[in-house]
Amino acid sequence: MGAALILTAVLALVTYLLVRSGELKIWHVLLVGVLGIYLDRIGWADPVVYGVTWLVQGLTHTT
């Protein structure tokens, strides 16, 4: 849960900075947010979360 919160905060910060710089429009952010809501409603959010978790763990594996 802690890693998901940190990742969410980082993604929110990056999104904010992109919107502020003009590289990303507000409607892009809203569209992606709506997509995330619908992915969660149809049950596709879990595979996405598992995929991101696998990727982050693979990139930060230190053994």
Q: Read off the pLDDT of residues 39-63 as tens digits, 9 standing for 90 and up.
A: 778 877 788 888 888 888 888 886 6
- Residue 15 · residue 29 · CB < 8 Å: yes
CA distance 25 to 43: 28
What does the pLDDT read at residue 8?
72
pLDDT of res. 3? 66
Q: What pLDDT is attached to residue 1?
A: 54
Q: Where are the domains positioned within the chain?
A: 2-59
> Could you identify the residue written with the tokens 């900075």?
17
Is residue 7 over pLDDT 80? no
Question: How far lies 5's CA from each of 11, 24, 33, 37, 54, in Å?
Answer: 10, 23, 16, 17, 16
Whether this prediction's pTM lies above 0.85 is answered by no
pLDDT band at residue 2 under the 50/70/90 scheme: low
